[in-house]
A and B are shown apart, each in its own frame.
Chain A
Amino acid sequence: MKRISITHQAWILGTFFITVLIILVTSIQQSNKPNSQKDYMLKMLSDTYSQVYTTAGINALNKRIVDGFYSTYCIIIDPNKNVLYSNTNRWKVPNDYSIGLHYQSLPDGDNEVWWRYKVNQLTDGNLLIVVQNFTQAKSDHSTNIFIVIMILSSITLAGLSSYLLGFFVIKRINKINQICAEIMRTGNLDMRIPHKGSGKDFDALAENLNLMLSKIQNLMSDVRQVSDNIAHDLRTPLTRMRNKLELLESEANKGNNIQEPVTNLKAEADKLLNIFSALLRITNIESGQRHGSFTLVDIDFLLNDLIELYEPLATEKNQILTLDSSTNLIMADSDLLFQALANVLDNAVKYTNYNGKINLSLEINDTSITIKISDNGIGVPETEMSKLKQRFYRVEQSRNLQGNGLGLSLVEAVLNLHNGRITFSSSSPGLTVTLVIPTKNQRLIIN
């Protein structure tokens, strides 16, 4: 990773250098070429001077000429190269004084001075030369070179500093990378990425990664525990089935009637299948892909249906089932919510003795609805309450009653889907199960 990124930087830097070089070369080449605009100016000047000389004579011309105007000078020579007029001593008439435009480079001390000159034929046979020192123009080159040097040095500086910065960034990233790779290789989720606790950039990243690791670790241990439980809880009925089959085999060998044991076995198999489908159902709900089936549900209507369903069962045990609720619409999956509430109410009826009392209540506030299902049954010891939602967990004294320990796990999954939560408290005697479902921001959940 490190090598690649440096190569990358070198490439970028090289490209910059080459670009600047191209700019530089072309600009020098261009300034060596005759500048047509300046040549035109030289021509105009020489034409004007010629006209003044012809019409008004050399003295008039002398008055008109501004010394060094645009670094231009004027010289008049006769055809034999004798100087009749000159306002400069810096320039000597060269050998080539044919009519037209000329360029010339002359050494001046250490420097090289560039000239261009225009030779005009005057009417009296003399020659008028307008000469311009265009080292001025050459000095453009030095400005160019200066700019190029500035650019080059700033690029170099930027490159260098980004390289240094990159070096430290890469070092940090490599450290994180190394630990991630180590975790993946060893599967050891106890490792954490070191951070200084400054809470800035990389520290924040490290902290978040660490939090993620902790979360994964928790989930992993949950999964492990669940699969342990599953293995245990499924092995028991499977073993029982196997034993019954063995018994059946010997009964059949003896020629006895096996109708009843077969029926029992079928029931046993059904129970196992139910456990599996309950587990699958929980997983399915937990994967949270069911938001599509959310609709507006009148919670009061739902609770009334629930009461109506369980009323005969409660009546059989001479229990009093009461409901305090009022109409309120929430976005929910009505089937799942019904299932969840049925599971809780089912427990209440099951674990409440004859002549007991079960009350359902609905409280509504601005942000949530709260459904309380309280009974005066056998209750759950405070120490066990936190374990109720665990898969396959069953309170010791309930083990002889029908059930698979998945009911409340399903309730929790359904409530999680609705962003709600389930809590347990003692209603001394008995248990109160409180379901809270937020009604605010529900649209967000659905979208």
Chain B
Amino acid sequence: MKILVIEDDVEVSNYISKGLKEAGHTIDQSFDGKDGLFKATTESYDILLVDRMLPLLDGLSIIKTIRATNNHTPTLILSALGDVDDRVQGLKHGGDDYLVKPFAFVELQARIDALARRSSSGFVEQTFLSIADLHLDLLSRKVTRGEKVIQLQPREFKLLEYMMKYKGQVVTRTMLLENVWDYRFDPQTNVIDVHISRLRTKIDKDFDKQLLQTMRGAGYILDDV
């Protein structure tokens, strides 16, 4: 993928770019808002990473401007402003996702993958999701693995639905918290882990193939390996 990184902190920008290049992406870097806007409007990118506070032109203005020209390139806002209000403001201005600094690289990567997937043409709102022999029907809200019907609590269902949508990709705990639970908060202990392990018991326990994997230091992945 071709990614534009608009970030004025050279060190952060290089750190992001290096990581993303290693993951096989093509990276363009902009170190101020004006240059960023110029590049974002004159070239075509798969994803924009935009810092909120930039010299010459702030990140939200960049996003607002390119959205006004009907450019819908998926945009991830990077910001040190992590309050809910800031986040809401960022998304309102046309950002697709919001990542608070400092962040772990896996978190950034997981979000970029999710963004790319969401915007790819093949990603339509499906009503039937499956991975290996695990099937989830969004209409009848029925989950089966092989011949076995699996009973899930509403939240477990939502959790599995989210993970199946992003199957084969790492989803971080924060992503799960933001998308599966409707509250924006930081749990003191890793309550998410317990929910995951409960879900794992239900979908994987009696089967040879383990679909739900823990990626140490990153999050979880639902994968058919």
Contact = CB atoms under 8 A, between A and B. Distances in A.
B101 to A, nearest CB: 10
Nearest to A267: B217
Nearest to B104: A270
Q: For this complex, into which size category does the number of interface residues on chain B fall?
A: 20 to 34
Contacts of B185: 335-336, 338-339, 342
B183 A334 contact: yes
B181 A309 contact: yes
| Dominant secondary structure at the A interface | helix
Nearest to A402: B189
Given A284-B83, A309-B181, A403 B191 contact: no
Of residues A266, A284, A312, which shows the largest number of chain B Cβ atoms within 10 Å of its Cβ?
A: A312
Interface residues of A, number: 34
A333 to B, nearest CB: 8
Contact of A339 (B82, B182, B183): B183
Given A284-B83, A290-B85, A310 B217 contact: no
A343 interface: yes
Contact of A308 (B82, B104, B155, B197): B155
A209 interface: no
Nearest to B189: A346
Contact of A293 (B84, B183, B191): B84
Interface string B61-91: 0000000000000000000001111000000
Nearest to A337: B183
A338 B183 contact: yes
A239 to B, nearest CB: 21
B82 A342 contact: no
Contacts of B209: none
A240 B195 CA distance: 32
A98 interface: no
Contacts of B92: none
A305 interface: yes
A273 B217 CA distance: 16
B24 interface: no
A335 B184 contact: yes
Interface of B: 82-85, 100, 102, 104, 153, 155, 181-189, 191, 194-195, 197-198, 217
30 contacts: A270-B104, A274-B186, A278-B186, A281-B83, A290-B85, A293-B84, A293-B85, A305-B182, A308-B155, A309-B155, A309-B191, A310-B191, A312-B194, A312-B197, A312-B198, A313-B191, A335-B84, A335-B184, A335-B185, A336-B185, A338-B183, A339-B186, A346-B188, A346-B189, A347-B188, A349-B189, A350-B188, A402-B188, A403-B188, A407-B188
